[in-house]
Amino acid sequence: MNIGEAARRSGLPPKTIRYYEEVGLLRPARARNGYRDYGEREVHLLRFLQRSRSLGFSIEEARKLLSLYGDEHRHSEDVRAMANGRIAEIDRKIAELHSLKRALASLAEQCPGDSGPDCPILDEIAGASAAASALPRPGHRA
C-alpha cells in the first residue's frame, strides 16, 4: 500500500510517517517504481509508534519500546521502568502546572479588572521592579 493508505490506516499524517522513516524507526519496502510500499506490519508498527508517542514517550523512548516489543527475550521490568520514568516526568509537569496556576490565580486576584490601566499581571510579565518601572512602557510617552 502507498503512504496515503498507510497514513489513513494508522491515523498518522504522511509527513510523520516520512519522519519516522528518516530517523530509522520504520523501513518500508520499495516498489519497483521506487515508491514506499507499506504492508500490514508497517501499519501495525505505525500504530504502535503513535500510541507510544500519545503516552508521552520521546522518539528515542519509542525506539527503545519498539526494540523491546520486537525482542522475545525482553524483560518486562525494562518496560515497566520506562513507564515509571514517564509517570515521574508527568508528575513533575503536573506539579509545575499547579504552581503556575497558583501564581497566575494570585495575579488575577490582585488585578482590579476595571477600566483603569494598573494591572499586576502585566507588571509581573514585564518583570516590574523599581528600575523597570522607571522605564517608559511601549506605547506610552515619557
CATH number of 57's domain: 1.10.1660.10
3-class secondary structure, 36: strand
Whether residue 140 lies inside any domain: the answer is: no
What is the spatial distance between Cα 88 and Cα 139, in angstroms, rounded to a whole number?
A: 45
| Burial label, 123 (beta-carbon count in 10 A; 0-12, 13-18, 19+) | middle
pTM for the predicted model, two decimal places: 0.73
Instruction: List the domain range (segments joined by +) for residue 50.
Output: 3-134
The string of pLDDT tens digits covering residues 75-107 is 999 999 999 999 999 999 999 999 999 999 999
Residue 139 has pLDDT above 90, yes or no: no
Of 32, 64, 71, 34, whose CA–CA distance to 49 is shortest?
64
Length of the chain: 142
Q: What is the domain count for the chain?
A: 1
Q: For residue 25, give the nearest of 56, 67, 55, 57 by alpha carbon.
A: 67
Range from 6-10, 33-37, 69-73, 105-109 carrying the lowest mean pLDDT: 33-37
Picking from 91, 89, 64, 90, the residue whose alpha carbon sits closest to that of residue 78 is 64
